Amino acid sequence: DQQVKQNSPSLSVQEGRISILNCDYTNSMFDYFLWYKKYPAEGPTFLISISSIKDKNEDGRFTVFLNKSAKHLSLHIVPSQPGDSAVYFCAASGNTGTASKLTFGTGTRLQVTL
- Using rule CB under 8 A, residue 26 touches another protein: no
Binding map of another protein across residues 30-49, x = CB under 8 A, - = no contact? -xx-x-x----xxxxxx--x
66 contributes a contact to another protein by CB under 8 A:
no
Question: Considering only residues 22, 57, 74, 93, which one is a binding residue for another protein as defined by CB under 8 A?
Answer: 93
Burial class of residue 5 in the structure, from the number of CB atoms within 10 Å of its CB (0-12 exposed, 13-18 middle, 19+ buried): middle
86: Cβ–Cβ under 8 A, 6 or more apart, which residues? 37, 38, 39, 109, 110
CB 46 within 8 A of CB 93: no
Which stretches of the chain bind another protein, using CB under 8 A? 4, 31-32, 34, 36, 41-46, 49, 51, 89, 91, 93, 95-107
